[in-house]
A and B are shown apart, each in its own frame.
Chain A
Amino acid sequence: MDAVDCGGVAYSSYCGEVAVKRKGGSSVKFGKASGFDEEMQLRQKQEIKDGDRITTGRKSFMTIMGHPQDNSMQMVCAYPESEFLVRTKDWEGEKKGEKQKGTEISKLELVRGAFSIYPAAAEVKIPMVEIKDTNKKKDVTFHYIVDILPDMTVVIPGCAMQVTAAGKSHETKPWFGMMGMTELMVTRSGMFEKKTEVDARVTMLSSYANFSTGLGGMVSGGESMMEYSSRKMEEGKKKSEEAMRQMPTDADLEQMRKSGKFSEAQIEMSRAMSKSMKESGGSGPAAAFGMLAAMDFSKLKDMPGITPEQRKQIEEAAPKMAEMQKKMKESGQMEKATAQAKLSEKYMSLAATDPVMKKRLAAAQQDNQSKLDAYELPPYPAPKEWARVK
């Protein structure tokens, strides 16, 4: 059996201008989708690959996530005008007897700009500093913000950590447990730590820490996920209706049998599919359940092209499938599953046309846009001697 894919390294959201330089030298400029369809297409083209060097433009945010084997949270949110390099690593393993695989971020090289990072086990190379996780709280995932400028690096701890610069180490943590209440500025002349009286730039960076993770809808032309799902469902139904018109009738099936050109297996599959689609009105999940209920699996042993081994497996499985179908029908499970599948479609249609949901989405999008428009980082003042770490 194939290993279960737990996920790769991919962007979860972005806005504005994002450019990627690949390891081989080619470049990709991330596009702006006008709707979910386009966004789905772009996702196929715009993958994050090992060795990518990523740059964000003005007023441009991006979030990339990895999937470590231990399932820990791994994420880097890049602020505007930032540049970093991503290294990835594939892994394979087994959990509770199930084979699994995935890809994690193995290394980040931060070049310039600001980043909000949940590194998990990734190595993070930051100009001027090294950061070590000394967090002992089990319910807190190690994370921090780092702001890289030409002549300084500022660390905003999200939990306890050790920061080393120019051979000197210092333990720091967020004051009152809140990110943004502690600022550790590392310059060529030393380390400077402020608690509560942090600089305005630190406050702004902290307030935008997870901004790019909440960007849903901004790049999708105003259509909500529900509206998109509902639209896709209606498109699927129209295609099903067309397919239903071409489904064989009982008379057609009898002709197929008389012609001698089709196996009993092929005739049985056509019969079961036709029955289930007609009964379910062509809808996807309901049709799938119906087909499972209607199929005579014993006839599948005649399927053309199968090996003797496969035929034997079908012959052995067929009575068990028949027994399962009988139990599902008698217990009402089949009826329940079909009814729930139909109701979930109805729910989706209701949600897609819900004026309150639409209003809230529009308000959230406007909020996001206002927040994006307001993003402007003030410069740091010169470090104060009283804040020097001795």
Chain B
Amino acid sequence: MGKGEIGGHMANPEDCEKELADYLAKSFGMLKQCFEDAKLKDFEERAKGLSAKLDSCRTRAAKARGYSEAESATAPLEKELDAFEAAFEKWYDEEADDQSFFARVASLFLDIRLHLETYRGGAGTLGEAGGNLEKAKEECGRLNEEFKSHVQKFDSLAQQVAAKAGTDSEKQRAERITDMTSTMLRYLDINHEMLMTELLGPAGKEGALEKALRMTGSAQGEVSGLRSNAYHLNDEAMQEAAASASFSFFAYRGALCAAFAIQGGK
């Protein structure tokens, strides 16, 4: 495995920030490719420019202590993403009519934002922990609590929708959603505890990011389920709660990656 590619063995936490940045940059590449395939040169160039924007934030982000500082350090990138996405939507409204293309681009923008959260969670944890594994675990715990609070909010909104459901199909759908969220909440803490036990033994040969992605793969599926259910219900409050839950989950994942990297550097 090449350095920086997912799967490369993380020997130390210093490489972890770079690996997270490369992982984020890969998603810029996919957006660029999408515009290149569609022969939209301006947007292609703008997507190419995202890497430079990220690089300009990295020095400050690499020193960030905690998620909030990492978020602040990468605010210029997020601002550019907002402007870029708005420009694309404006162009689409005025000049295009291909729904599947629009959906693809929207999905790629979302991926970038989620991977940005992973970068923030990871970089912030690396900075806060300063090589100390116990501090990294604390940061993971804090981000897990943040994630849990958003899932609880979603669950509470889902219960309200279930209470108002009128037709049989509305009731069935509401029941499916509340079953899903109550199950997520039931096992959320124990899943976090189980992930923390991975930090007890030796690091193993697997790369930190690869391990974090693998061990949270099924949870990612559940989080996507929140978003798709909120979308189908067409409920704005639930869509917002689902989005917050997604972002906090990806930040947690980044923190986990940082913790694995610190473990590997011991």
Q: Please report A residues at the B interface, Cβ cutoff 8 Å.
A: 331-333, 335-337, 339-340, 343, 346-347, 350, 354-356, 359-360
Contact = CB atoms under 8 A, between A and B. Distances in A.
A351 to B, nearest CB: 8
Contact of A339 (B183, B187, B200, B202): B200
Nearest to B179: A356
B200 A343 contact: no
Interface string B95-116: 0000000000000000000000
Q: Is the interface of A mostly helix, strand, loop or mixed?
A: helix
Contacts of B197: 336, 339-340, 343
7 contacts: A332-B202, A333-B201, A337-B201, A340-B197, A347-B190, A356-B186, A360-B179
A282 B78 CA distance: 53
A350 B201 contact: no
Interface string B141-168: 0000000000000000000000000000
Interface of B: 179, 182-183, 186-187, 190, 193-194, 197-198, 200-202
A346 B190 contact: yes
Nearest to A344: B194
A310 B191 CA distance: 45
A332 B179 CA distance: 37
In the complex, which of the residues B190, B198, B201 has the most CB atoms of chain A within 10 Å of its own CB atom?
Answer: B201
A337 B198 CA distance: 10
Contacts of A335: 200-201
Nearest to A357: B183
Contacts of A356: 179, 182-183, 186
Given A356-B179, A356-B183, A359-B179, A343 B201 contact: no
Contacts of B179: 356, 359-360
Closest 6 CB pairs of A and B: A336-B201, A336-B200, A339-B197, A333-B201, A331-B202, A332-B200
Contacts of B198: 336
A336 B204 CA distance: 13
B226 to A, nearest CB: 16
Given A340-B194, A343-B193, A356-B179, A350 B186 contact: yes
Contacts of A343: 190, 193-194, 197
A335 B201 CA distance: 7
A336 B193 CA distance: 11
A331 B201 contact: yes
A285 B148 CA distance: 30
A96 B182 CA distance: 46
Contacts of B194: 340, 343, 347
Contacts of A336: 197-198, 200-201
A333 B202 contact: yes
A369 to B, nearest CB: 20
Contacts of A340: 194, 197
Nearest to B196: A339
B23 to A, nearest CB: 27
B235 to A, nearest CB: 21
A337 B197 CA distance: 8
Nearest to B181: A356
A339 B200 CA distance: 9
Contacts of B183: 354, 356
B202 A350 contact: no
A354 B184 CA distance: 11
Contact of B186 (A331, A339, A354): A354
Nearest to A334: B201
B265 to A, nearest CB: 15
Contacts of B186: 350, 354, 356
B211 to A, nearest CB: 14
A340 B194 CA distance: 7
Nearest to B175: A359
Given A332-B202, A337-B201, A347-B194, 11 more contacts: A333-B202, A335-B201, A336-B200, A336-B201, A340-B194, A343-B190, A343-B197, A350-B187, A354-B183, A356-B179, A356-B183
Contacts of A333: 201-202
Contacts of A347: 187, 190, 194
Contacts of A355: 182
B68 to A, nearest CB: 31
B190 A350 contact: yes
